[in-house]
Amino acid sequence: MRTLTNLKADRLEGLLSKFELQMPVEHAVLFLSDPSVDETVPEDTSASAVTATGDCICFWVQSDVDGPSDVTVSDQPCDRGGIECFTGELLTPQRIVTLSTSRGFAYLNVPVRDESTEVRIWMSDAAQPEWAWVKLPIGI
């Protein structure tokens, strides 16, 4: 049986606070958005490691030909070092952030606290990241 995603969630005081995913990403790009919004994808997603509009954040990850991408989504700052590549706000009217592929496959839906969500992204390397860490205020 082929597993597309290995998912591990750590618990802190009974609340889900960290998701660690390893998954193949065909086009080496992932998106963060609220699934209820008809998001506006950044015009040139290759302009930098992270590009964004008010309702969609696009970030580069390792291509599936180089192995699975390692992505952490947490309410804590990155503890792996790396480079902070992005800090900004994401429109989240339904208070959900979805991590999805360029084909629209949703790897993860995370509840957030507000209708506008602060997002921070770190990467191992801005040119060819082996991993990415996404911090957002996870809420239930």
* Tens digit of each residue's pLDDT (9 = 90 or more) over 120-134: 999 999 988 999 999
Largest CA distance in the chain: 41
Is the residue at 83 inside a domain? yes
Question: Residue 7 — pLDDT band, cuts 50, 70, 90?
Answer: very low
Q: Which residues, at least 6 apart from 3, have a Cβ–Cβ distance to it below 8 Å?
A: none
**Residue of higher predicted confidence among 13 and 110:** 110
CATH code of the domain covering residue 22: 2.60.34.30
User: What pLDDT sits at residue 131?
Assistant: 96
Q: Taking the model in full, what pTM does it have?
A: 0.86
Is the residue at 58 inside a domain? yes
User: What pLDDT sits at residue 75?
Assistant: 94
The CB density around residue 67, as the number of other CB atoms within 10 Å, is 11
Q: Report whether 30 contacts 61 (CB < 8 A).
A: yes
Half-sphere exposure (Cβ direction) of 73: Cα atoms closer than 13 Å: 28
Q: Which of 5-19, 61-75, 77-91 has the lowest mean pLDDT?
A: 5-19
Instruction: Output the six-digit token pair for 58.
Output: 């696009």
Is the residue at 140 inside a domain? no
User: What pLDDT sits at residue 4?
Assistant: 42
Is the residue at 1 inside a domain? no
Is the residue at 32 inside a domain? yes
Print the domain residue range for 87.
6-135
User: What pLDDT sits at residue 129?
Assistant: 92
Query: Is the model's pLDDT at 6 over the cut of 60?
Result: no
| 88-124 per-position pLDDT tens digit | 999 999 999 999 999 999 999 999 999 999 999 999 9
Q: How many domains in the chain?
A: 1
User: What pLDDT sits at residue 135?
Assistant: 97
